[in-house]
Amino acid sequence: MRHLDDYLDKLTNLPPAPRVLPELLDLLSQDNVDSDRVVKVIAYDPGLTASVLQLCNSAYFGLATPAEDLLEAVTRLGFNQVYQLVAALVGSKAMGPPQLGYGIDKGELWKHSVASAVAAQCIAEAQGENQAVVYTAALLHDIGKIVLSDALVHSYAQLIEETERNQQALVDTEKKLLGVDHAEIGGRLLARWRFPAKLVDAVTHHHAPQGAGQHGQLAAYTYLGNMLAHFVGYGYGHLPFALRGRSEAMEMLGLSKDALPQFMIATFEKIDLIDALFGVAR
């Protein structure tokens, strides 16, 4: 595993650890949490607090009369909605910039991430699963790409060429060329940032969810969110469909063959939400 840490240690421009997310997720997992405690965690970061409040009062999420402070926003919009915004604000800092090593223009990775998160959340909603956790895993699933992008600046052409020639998944070519892939490095990054093990495992195994053991279901949501984002047109990079079909992801969640088109429509219905969350990066 030293190789993974090498990549992380070499990186000088890593975004700061988004401490607020693991703490909020921890609160979310408890029953009957006071809004006060939620607000206190967010309020550690005054800049974040101001941005969240601004968004709560913005056109899409807009309250009829503006909320005066965060506590009021949490009370009126609900914890889940506020969490969604906090996670988007935090995530966009890391994933908004271009990642040239992957042929990713400014905002492309972020748009894909948001679309994946919203898509995965659609499935979670239908399945009665914890939406915030699923949303977070899918939102951060490609965060390893910000680490590997530098390493790929000079070998992306080779990555693409070999992927196409061998007709293999991009993630497999990555592993062959670099010794690591973006999924496992993303998982390692989240572990360093003290995210719960289930999120680490879901991100690590988001291309092959059966490897995630007891957290297989969360990995399956993440896998399917990523897939749906591609299907609905939020892919990026040179070979966006160099992905492997994993029917076990559907089976692990007890989903039938017909379910995927239904979730494509559900995701399509949320294009406005995807656009609004994408917009927080501006």
Partner 1 sequence: MASPSLSQLGFEHRVIVGIADLAVSNNPSVTLATYSLGSCLGVTIYDPVIRAGGLLHIMLPDSSIDPVKATKQPGMFVDTGVAALFRAAYQLGAEKMRMRIAVTGGAQIMDNSGYFNIGRRNYEALMGLFQKHGLRVAAEQVGGLVNRTVYFNLRTGEVRLKVSGQPAETQLLCGI
- Contacts to partner 1 by CB under 8 A: 103, 160, 163-164, 167-169, 227, 230-247, 250, 257-258, 260-262, 264-265, 268, 271
CB of 38 within 8 A of CB of 87?
no
Q: How far is the CB of 150 from partner 1 (least distance, A)?
A: 20
CB of 153 within 8 A of CB of 254?
no
Q: How far is the CB of 185 from partner 1 (least distance, A)?
A: 22
What's the residue count for the chain?
282
Q: Cβ closer to partner 1: 176 or 244? A: 244
Q: How far is the CB of 112 from partner 1 (least distance, A)?
A: 11
Give the residue carrying structure tokens 């679309």.
115
Q: Cβ closer to partner 1: 214 or 247? A: 247
The most distant pair of C-alpha atoms in the chain lies apart, rounded to whole Å, by 58
Q: Cβ closer to partner 1: 196 or 237? A: 237
Which of 98, 187, 223 is closest to 149 using CA atoms?
Answer: 98
Q: For residues 38 and 82, give the distance between their C-alpha atoms in angstroms, rounded to a whole number.
A: 10
Q: Cβ closer to partner 1: 50 or 265? A: 265
Q: How far is the CB of 216 from partner 1 (least distance, A)?
A: 16
Give the residue carrying structure tokens 């239904």.
262
Q: How far is the CB of 92 from partner 1 (least distance, A)?
A: 20
Q: Cβ closer to partner 1: 60 or 241? A: 241
Q: How far is the CB of 247 from partner 1 (least distance, A)?
A: 3
Which of 16, 76, 26 is closest to 47 using CA atoms?
Answer: 16
Q: Cβ closer to partner 1: 82 or 160? A: 160
Q: For residues 240 and 35, give the distance between their C-alpha atoms in angstroms, rounded to a whole number.
A: 41
Q: Cβ closer to partner 1: 95 or 160? A: 160
CB of 149 within 8 A of CB of 196?
no
- What is the token pair recorded at 165? 């020639």
Q: How far is the CB of 29 from partner 1 (least distance, A)?
A: 31
Q: Cβ closer to partner 1: 87 or 249? A: 249
- Tell me 278's DSSP state: H
Measured in degrees and rounded to the nearest 5, phi and psi for residue 74 equal -65, -40
CB of 237 within 8 A of CB of 165?
no
First vs last Cα of the chain: how many Å apart?
36
Q: Give just the sign of the alpha carbon dihedral 26, 29, 35, 37.
A: negative
Q: How far is the CB of 255 from partner 1 (least distance, A)?
A: 9
